[in-house]
Amino acid sequence: MFAELSAPPFALALLVVLAGLLVAARLARSTVFWPLAALALLLAFNLFATRGFFSLEWKEGHLFGPAIDVLKNGSYVMLLSLGMTLVIATSGVDLSVGAVMAISGAVAAGLIERGGLPLPAVLAAALGVCVLVGLWNGVLVAVFRVQPLVATLVLMVAGRGVAMLITEGRRITIQRSYAGYDAFVYIGNGFLFYVPLAVTIVAVMLLLTALLTRKTALGLFIEAVGDNDTASRYAGVNARAVKLAAYTFSAFCAGVAGLIYASNIRTADPSKAGLYLELDAIMAVVIGGTALTGGRFRLIGSVVGALLIQTLTTTMLMHGLSSDQALVPKAVVVVAVCLLQSRVFRERVARLFRRPARRQPA
């Protein structure tokens, strides 16, 4: 086998695929066009300006390289953005997902440290706790009609405290001597089908979410409730159950992300795990074309948005910027994509270019 794939063919292949997607999105008048276009632009920039961005290595049957890192490091935000998309579509928001990641990791690490439970049971317990947390959010919003921002703010703040309680205030490091160490660490570091397992998990979750929302009536109900809650209830939609499901699913996604993170760094770190990622997830959803006011949602758009954010971060890091400095260009791109999506903005710009031409005949 060859040790290193040559970069240009891979880069070109990727850009050709992207161009194809862009044309398809344009033809279908899909709102995914704009984030996709931004992503393509950024990748084109990287092709010329970022040395080694497209270099791929083939080691021990696995792929390595910055592009793969983007997918792997972006997996957290991609997962969070799936659940966040559904919550935002019900015209809510879930600020607690970062903290839920911490809880999920804490539960898993705590149980592994204690020993005695097989790994599947550990994972199920961690995800089960996250589902309960999601139900709590959902009950506050759907039953008691607390504003989503406030309802989920509670756990955004308190969730890390809960995680601390679970770990008794420590960072729990998963020791090599623990039972199930190998299997657990595999989740965030292993490979499946040549790519990191985390990437495969994202792909599976995306597929599941898409099937769940588009092959059942759940998607229709979510969009109806988000667009007009009252009218949906009058039409017989169980708006309460729909919202409950959205918040629960969001917490579940956060739980999965939390497990991958804890596994990746072999540590449950209640104060750092998923910190500020809820904001990245919301950004990804907005970039992806789902309006914060609810209604129509775009799962693919959110994932593309998450990829865009991660590609940008990786690009910055490869250009030697620190992750703090990288926030500024990130903000610029977010604003740019949001402006491009705004019909008003596009019309204004178009008018700017058209105006002189129109005046000439007079």
Partner 1 sequence: MPEVSDSLLLEMRGISKAFPGVQALDGVPFRLRRGEVHGLMGENGAGKSTLIKVLTGVYRRDAGEITLDGVPVHPTSPQHAEAVGISTVYQEVNLIPHLSVAENVCLGRQPTRLGMIRWRAIRRRAEAALDKLGLALDVSRQLSSYSIAIQQMVAIARALDVRAKLLVLDEPTSSLDEKEVAELFAAVARLRERGLGIIFITHFLDQVYRVSDRITVLRNGGFVGEYETKDLPRIELIGRMIGKDPSAIAADGERRPSAGAAAAGEALVHVDGLRRRGSVGPLTMTIHRGEVVALAGLLGSGRTEAARLLFGIDRPDGGQIRVTGRPERIRSPRRAIRLGFAFTPEDRRYAGIIPNLSVRENIVLALQASRGTWRTLSRKRQVEIAGRFIEALDIKTPGPEQPIANLSGGNQQKVLLARWLATEPRLLILDEPTRGIDVGAKAEIEGLIARLREQGMAILFISSELEEVVRDSQRVVVLRDRAQIGELVGGAISEQAILHLIAGQETGGGDVR
Nearest to 186 by CA among 262, 111, 78: 262
Q: Is 350 in the site for partner 1 (CB under 8 A)?
A: no
Nearer to partner 1, 17 or 231 (CB): 231
* Token pair belonging to 117: 């439970």
Q: Is 235 in the site for partner 1 (CB under 8 A)?
A: yes
Q: Is 359 in the site for partner 1 (CB under 8 A)?
A: no
Q: Pick one of 30, 50, 195, 227: the residue that binds partner 1 (CB under 8 A).
A: 227
Nearest to 212 by CA among 261, 250, 255, 257: 250
Bridge partners (DSSP) of residue 5 are: 56
Identity of the residue numbered 94: D
Nearer to partner 1, 12 or 217 (CB): 217
Q: Pick one of 77, 93, 103, 237: the residue that binds partner 1 (CB under 8 A).
A: 237
Q: Pick one of 236, 320, 356, 361: the residue that binds partner 1 (CB under 8 A).
A: 236
Work out how close the CB of 285 gets to partner 1 at its nearest, in angstroms, rounded to a whole number: 17
Given the DSSP bridges, would you call strands 4-5 and 172-173 parallel, antiparallel or unpaired? unpaired
Neighbours of 192 (CB within 10 A): 14
Task: Name the 3-class secondary structure at 145.
Answer: coil
Nearer to partner 1, 165 or 231 (CB): 231
3-state helix, strand, coil split of the chain in percent (to 5) is: 70, 5, 25
Tallying the residues shown for the chain, one arrives at: 362
Bridge partners (DSSP) of residue 191 are: 196
| Angle separating helix axes 75-89 and 299-318, nearest 10 degrees | 140
* Token pair belonging to 91: 């015209």
Identity of the residue numbered 352: L
Work out how close the CB of 249 gets to partner 1 at its nearest, in angstroms, rounded to a whole number: 13
Q: Pick one of 128, 161, 190, 295: the residue that binds partner 1 (CB under 8 A).
A: 295
Work out how close the CB of 215 gets to partner 1 at its nearest, in angstroms, rounded to a whole number: 7
Nearer to partner 1, 144 or 276 (CB): 144
- Part in contact with partner 1 (CB under 8 A); list of ranges 3-11, 15-23, 209-217, 312-320: 209-217
Instruction: Compute how many residues bind partner 1; rule: CB under 8 A.
Output: 21
Nearer to partner 1, 285 or 308 (CB): 285
Instruction: Report yes or no: 295 and 308 within 8 Å, Cβ to Cβ.
Output: no
Which DSSP helix (H) or strand (E) runs through 64?
strand 62-64
CA distance 184 to 177: 12
Q: Is 322 in the site for partner 1 (CB under 8 A)?
A: no
- Part in contact with partner 1 (CB under 8 A); list of ranges 178-186, 213-221, 298-306, 334-342: 213-221
| Strands of the sheet with 62-64, listed across from one edge | 4-5, 56-59, 62-64
Q: Is 342 in the site for partner 1 (CB under 8 A)?
A: no
Query: Which residues in the 53-112 window bind partner 1 by CB under 8 A?
Result: none
Q: Pick one of 48, 144, 234, 353: the residue that binds partner 1 (CB under 8 A).
A: 234
Q: Is 252 in the site for partner 1 (CB under 8 A)?
A: no
Interface positions with partner 1 (CB under 8 A): 215-218, 220-221, 223-224, 227-228, 230-238, 295-296
